[in-house]
Amino acid sequence: MTTRTRILTGITTTGTPHLGNYAGAIRPAIVASRDSNADSFYFLADYHALIKCDDPLRIQRSRLEIAATWLAGGLDVDRVTFYRQSDIPEIPELTWLLTCVAAKGLLNRAHAYKASVDKNVETGEDPDAGITMGLYSYPVLMAADILMFNAHKVPVGRDQIQHVEMARDIGQRFNHLFGQGKEFFTMPEALIEESVATLPGLDGRKMSKSYDNTIPLFSSAKEMKDAISRIVTDSRAPGEAKDPDNSHLFTLFQAFATPAQSDEFRSELLQGLGWGEAKNRLFQLLDNELGESRERYNLLIERPADLEDILQHGAKKARAVATPFLNELREAVGLRSFVAQTQVAATTRKKAAKAARFVSFREDDGSFRFRLLAADGEQLLLSRNFADGKTAGQVTKQLQSGQALDVRSEALSFSVWLEGECVADSPTFADSTARDAAIEALRIALTPIQE
Ligand code: TRP
C-alpha cells in the first residue's frame, strides 16, 4: 500500500475571494486535489479570522462566500476533507497542549507580531499597543491546524513559510517531550507553488484587498466589467502598437487563456488593438471561463442550509481523524482517565510480581521451608517448617492464587496465615512504617499476573 501525500491548507475567512485568490490559491488547490496520490484537507480558518476581524456579520458572510467559492470552483467534497476550523473542537484543545510546549522566544520572532511591534515603536506607542494574545499566538493555532492531521505538505504563500517552520519546531518539541521514542507528529513542509502566477491588480501592483485593486470573482457580470474598465493602461491610441510584455492587462489575460488564445491576443496588441477593445476581450474570456462557476456560486449562496450540511459532513470526516488522535495526545501528557491509571498501576504491579520470587530450601532436620524475596532481593517472608516439599509447594501456590491474604501485624513484624494456621513470618522492621510498606510490597508481589 502506498501512503498518499496529505496536503492541508487553510483559508482565513475575512473577505470575499477575488480573481487573484482564485488564480493564486483556489484553482491550483482544486487541481491538486484531483491527483490520486493526494489526500487533501482544506478548511476555512475562521478562528484565525477572529484575530483580524471583530465584525460578526463580516465573519459570517465571508465563511459563506468562501465555502461557496471553493465548491463552485469544482472542489469534490467526496474526495477531499473540506471543513470549518471552528467545527473541530480538537483544534483549540490541541492548541493549548502545544501552547504549553511552545517557547515564548520562538513566538517573539514571528514576523506578523514583530511588524506590529515595530510599527508601534516607530509611532512612539507602547510596543504592545493594540496587540492581542490572538495575534501573538496565531502561529500556535496554525501549528495545531497542521499537526492535528499530520499534513506532509502545506501549500501557502511566502508570508506563511515561517509559520509552517514554527509548526515543525513546536511539533518536534512535543514529540521529544512526550513521544517516548514515538513520533506523534509528522514534520510538515511548506509548499510554494513557483509556477502559480501572482496576479497583478487594476493598477499593476499585486492584486490584493489591501491595495483596493481587485477584480471580483463571482459577482455580477456588470461588476466584473466595471472593474476591468478601471485597469490602468498606457496612453497609446488605437492603431498604435502595444507592448504586451509590459501590460498587466495582458498578464491577466494569460492567466486564464490557452496558449493559442494568448498568442492571438498578443499579435492583435502588437498590431494596434485599442485598449477599450482589449478590455472587452479580457471580459469575454473571463466571462467564458467563470460564467458557469458563477451560476453555481449563486445557487449555493441561495441555499445556505445545503452548504451547512456539506460542511457538517466535512467536520465529521475530519473529526474521525482528530478525536482518536487527540485522545492519544491527552494520554501522552498525562490527562488520563483514572480507570486508565489503574491499568498503569497494574503494569507496575505486574513488573513487581514478575520480579518477586520464592526460594525453597531444606533445613538440617529434613524439613522444607521457603523464602519470598522482593525484586530488590529484600526478604519479605520466611516460611514455617513443613514436613515435606509437597506441602511447602502447595502453600506457595495458595499464596499466589489471588485469594485474600490473611496478614496479621504484630508489633514490628507480621505473619501470614492460611486456614487458621500461621505459614510464614516477616523479618523485624525498624518501625511500623517500614512494616506497613513491606505488607504493601507483599500484596503487590502476590497479586496474580493478569493479562
Ligand atoms: N495563516 C494562513 C493565511 O493567512 C491561513 C491558515 C490558517 C493556514 N491555518 C493554516 C494555512 C494551516 C495553512 C495551514 O494564509
Domain identity same for 268 and 317: no
Structural domain ending residue among the three candidates 311, 333, 355 = 333
**Coil, helix or strand at residue 421:** strand
Residue 448 has pLDDT above 70, yes or no: no
- Residue 451: what pLDDT? 43
- Residue 369: what pLDDT? 95
The reply to whether 204 falls in a domain is no
Ligand 1 atom 8: the closest Cα is on which residue?
A: 10
The span from the first CA to the last CA of the chain, in angstroms, equals 33
The reply to whether 121 falls in a domain is no
> How distant is the alpha carbon of residue 345 from its chain centre?
31
Separation of 295 CA from ligand 1 center, angstroms? 28
pLDDT digit string, tens, across residues 167-187:
999 999 999 999 988 899 999
Domain identity same for 73 and 155: yes
Ligand 1 nearest atom to the CA of residue 45, by list position: 7
- The number of beta carbons lying within 10 Å of the beta carbon of residue 37 is 9
Domain identity same for 322 and 363: no
The reply to whether 308 falls in a domain is yes
Residue 1 has pLDDT above 50, yes or no: no
The reply to whether 119 falls in a domain is no
DSSP string, 6-42: EEEEEEE-SS--BHHHIIIIIHHHHHHHTSTTEEEEE
pLDDT digit string, tens, across residues 297-314:
999 999 999 999 999 999
- Residue 20: what pLDDT? 92
Domain identity same for 46 and 75: yes
Ligand 1 atom 6: the closest Cα is on which residue?
A: 10
Separation of 99 CA from ligand 1 center, angstroms? 17
The reply to whether 212 falls in a domain is no
The reply to whether 432 falls in a domain is yes
Separation of 420 CA from ligand 1 center, angstroms? 73
Domain identity same for 237 and 369: no
Amino acid identity at 282: L
pLDDT digit string, tens, across residues 155-167:
998 889 999 999 9
Separation of 69 CA from ligand 1 center, angstroms? 17
Ligand 1 nearest atom to the CA of residue 141, by list position: 9
Residue 7 has pLDDT above 80, yes or no: yes
Burial status of residue 373 (CB atoms within 10 A of its CB: 0-12, 13-18, 19 or more): middle
- Residue 338: what pLDDT? 87
DSSP string, 62-91: HHHHHHHHHHHTT--TTTSEEEEGGG-THH
Residue to mutate (ligand 1; options 40, 48, 53, 198; most atoms within 8 A of CB): 48
Ligand 1 atom 10: the closest Cα is on which residue?
A: 10
Domain identity same for 60 and 157: yes
The domain that holds 417 is classified in CATH as 2.30.29.80
Structural domain ending residue among the three candidates 333, 348, 381 = 333
Task: Provide the CB-side half-sphere exposure for 317 (13 A, CA).
Answer: 19
Ligand 1 nearest atom to the CA of residue 8, by list position: 14
Domain identity same for 252 and 317: no
What lies within 8 Å, CB to CB, of 73 at 6+ separation is: 22, 26, 27, 30, 293
Residue to mutate (ligand 1; options 8, 146, 158, 163; most atoms within 8 A of CB): 163
Separation of 303 CA from ligand 1 center, angstroms? 27
Domain identity same for 384 and 316: no
Ligand 1 nearest atom to the CA of residue 155, by list position: 13
For residue 423, what are the CA distances in angstroms to 194, 361, 434? 82, 15, 21
The number of domains in the chain is: 3
The domain that holds 177 is classified in CATH as 3.40.50.620
Residue to mutate (ligand 1; options 44, 88, 156, 164; most atoms within 8 A of CB): 156
Ligand 1, CB within 6 Å, residue ranges:
8-10, 12, 45, 48, 142, 145-146, 154, 156, 160
> In the structure, what pLDDT confidence band is assigned to residue 115 with cuts at 50, 70 and 90?
very high
Domain identity same for 58 and 148: yes
Domain identity same for 164 and 307: yes
Separation of 46 CA from ligand 1 center, angstroms? 10
Q: What CA–CA distance (Å, rounded) separates 51 from 204?
A: 30
CB 166 within 8 A of CB 106: yes
Ligand 1 nearest atom to the CA of residue 145, by list position: 12
Residue 342 has pLDDT above 60, yes or no: no
Separation of 76 CA from ligand 1 center, angstroms? 21
The domain that holds 256 is classified in CATH as 1.10.240.10
Residue 381 has pLDDT above 80, yes or no: yes
Maximum separation of any 2 CA atoms in the chain, in Å? 127
For residue 178, what are the CA distances in angstroms to 50, 145, 183, 328? 31, 19, 9, 11
Domain identity same for 192 and 321: yes
The reply to whether 205 falls in a domain is no
**Coil, helix or strand at residue 212:** coil
Separation of 1 CA from ligand 1 center, angstroms? 30
Ligand 1 atom 14: the closest Cα is on which residue?
A: 9
- Residue 197: what pLDDT? 65
DSSP string, 165-193: HHHHHHHHHHHHHH-TT---SPPPEEE--
For residue 354, what are the CA distances in angstroms to 373, 393, 400, 431, 436? 11, 18, 12, 27, 21
Ligand 1 nearest atom to the CA of residue 157, by list position: 15
Cα pseudo-dihedral 262, 264, 265, 267, rounded to 10: 120
Residues paired with residue 6 on neighbouring β-strands, in sequence order:
39
The reply to whether 45 falls in a domain is yes
The parent domain of residue 235 ranges over 218-295
Among 381-385, 401-405, 445-449, name the one with the lowest average pLDDT: 445-449
Residue to mutate (ligand 1; options 7, 8, 9, 113; most atoms within 8 A of CB): 9
Domain identity same for 20 and 160: yes
